[in-house]
Amino acid sequence: MKNKDITMLILVAIVLMVAVYYYSVNNNTQTEKSNISTTTTAGILANKTTTKSTSQTYTSNYTKIGQRTLINGIYITPVKVSYDGRCPIDVKCIQAGTVDLAVIFENGTTQNTIITLNRPTTFSGKIISLTNITPNKVSTKVINDSDYRFLISVK
């Protein structure tokens, strides 16, 4: 094979791998969203701390940096967005991107860690997921730490 043919095969393989990854992330997100109870606008405005669904997944209403929230027996405090690589809504991207959030978990013991959007982590025998972040990223705007809101679930 010529170098040109090999290069073309590598590019096709990369595009296929990105497509499979993107598809699997979107499917996992849809499945996870169906397991989490829907919070009402009134609940969000009242800033209640937990909501229970039928699958024993508990989810916070949107929390912010520095706000300590009790979810299913675990206190979770978002500390800092350490990485926001989401694709801006006004740009076409081949990958959705992700967010890393520094948090503190507490329930008798304390753990400082980083959780990643839609990648569950375990603490004290429970599965914790960062399931959504607002506001959406826009290429022409900077999001201040005080503007971020996080939806976190504990199962």
3-state secondary structure 11-76: HHHHHHHHHHHHHHHHHHHHHHHHHCCCCCHHHHHHCCCCEECCCCCEECCCECCCCCEEECCEEE
Provide the 3-class DSSP secondary structure of residue 154.
Answer: strand
Query: Within 13 Å of residue 83, how many CA atoms lie on the same side as its CB?
Result: 9
Expressed as residue numbers, the domain containing 33 is 3-154
Which of 99, 38, 111, 101 lies closest to 66 in space, CA to CA?
101
Which of 108, 147, 106 lies closest to 128 in space, CA to CA?
106
Task: Give the global pTM.
Answer: 0.63
Predicted confidence at residue 42, as pLDDT, reads 31
Q: What's the pLDDT tens digit per position in 67-76?
A: 999 999 999 9
Provide the 3-class DSSP secondary structure of residue 79.
Answer: strand
Q: What's the pLDDT tens digit per position in 14-23?
A: 766 666 565 5
- Percent of the chain with pLDDT strictly greater than 90: 57
Contact 111, 102 (CB under 8 A): no
Q: What's the pLDDT tens digit per position in 140-155?
A: 999 999 999 999 999 9
Predicted confidence at residue 24, as pLDDT, reads 57
Domain count, the chain: 1
